Amino acid sequence: KQEVTQIPAALSVPEGENLVLNCSFTDSAIYNLQWFRQDPGKGLTSLLLIQSSQREQTSGRLNASLDKSSGRSTLYIAASQPGDSATYLCAVRLGGGWDMRFGAGTRLTVKP
Amino acid sequence: DTAVSQTPKYLVTQMGNDKSIKCEQNLGHDTMYWYKQDSKKFLKIMFSYNNKELIINETVPNRFSPKSPDKAHLNLHINSLELGDSAVYFCASSHGQGKTDTQYFGPGTRLTVL
């Protein structure tokens, strides 16, 4: 059964720092991996989607990598800003294409 | 314009009642989903509808039933609510199950069963 783990559970950094969020999964037979952002009381905003054949995706200050063989993905945030404060979730879509498993998330706080 | 909307945002009800949560997407997507987020923020998929057909159904009690009047709507009906049903429920949609299928999520509905 696919398990998704995110470390750390919470992270607090000063503004301007570069940071890395980690996601690991136990079954490498994934269809794709997606990083989301969740603000308190709001829905999930999709940040980056990496297909199983890809190694990384970039969007602005965000860069996500995928190493399927080792079951790991990282989300790199450059020059963090207070507005980046949110919970970041990674999710894998399983090989069958329909089921998704989410991690518990990393709660990020960027202090001014 | 809101891409995926859910109503209500908050729902407080007594145990044993029947309730519905509505979801609408204006993205023209073919597939819609319902997820349950527990207190530990794990999101577990409950249902998926593609072109008005139920594609997957996890081990969800049959008290939960998805209803799709058309491609843009997927409502969640819950019978005989139980305390353990308290959670945040998220609706989502995607174009399909192809390799570019980014999911778009609604704001969630916080259900509290007393």
The reply to whether A40 touches chain B by the CB within 8 Å rule is no
Query: DSSP label at A28?
Result: -
The reply to whether A91 touches chain B by the CB within 8 Å rule is yes
A43 vs B41, B55, B105: nearest CB: B105
Please list, residue by residue across A25-59, b when 16 or more beta carbons sit within 10 angstroms of its beta carbon and e when fewer do: beeeebbbbbbbbbeeeebbebbbbbbbeeeebee
What residues of A are in contact with residue B105 (Cβ under 8 Å)? 36, 43-46
What residues of B are in contact with residue A100 (Cβ under 8 Å)? 43, 45, 103
Q: Which amino acid is at A97?
A: G
Query: DSSP label at A82?
Result: G
Burial of B95 from C-beta contacts in 10 A (0-12 / 13-18 / 19+): middle
pLDDT given for residue B40 in this prediction = 62
pLDDT given for residue A45 in this prediction = 87
| pLDDT tens figures, B40-96 | 667 788 888 887 778 777 688 999 999 999 889 999 999 999 999 999 999 999 887
Are B87 and B64 in contact, with CB atoms under 8 Å apart? no
The reply to whether B39 touches chain A by the CB within 8 Å rule is no
Closest chain A residue to the Cα of B99, Cα to Cα: A51
pLDDT given for residue B86 in this prediction = 94
Report the pLDDT averaged over residues A40-54: 86
Both tokens assigned to A34:
């997606």
Query: What Cα–Cα distance (Å) separates residue A12 from each residue in A28, A37, A90, A106, B104?
Result: 30, 16, 19, 10, 27
Residue B100 binned pLDDT confidence (cut-offs 50, 70, 90): low
Report the pLDDT averaged over residues A34-54: 88
Are A105 and A38 in contact, with CB atoms under 8 Å apart? yes
Helix (H, G, I), strand (E, B) or coil at A73: strand
% residues pLDDT > 70 (chain B): 89
Burial of A82 from C-beta contacts in 10 A (0-12 / 13-18 / 19+): exposed
- CA atoms of B89 and B80, how far apart (whole Å): 17
The sign of the CA dihedral A10, B58, A96, A46 is: negative
How many other C-beta atoms can be found within 10 angstroms of the C-beta atom of residue A67? 13
Rg (CA), chain A: 13
Q: Shortest Cα distance from A10 to chain B (angstroms)?
A: 13
Q: Say if residue B1's pLDDT is above 70.
A: no
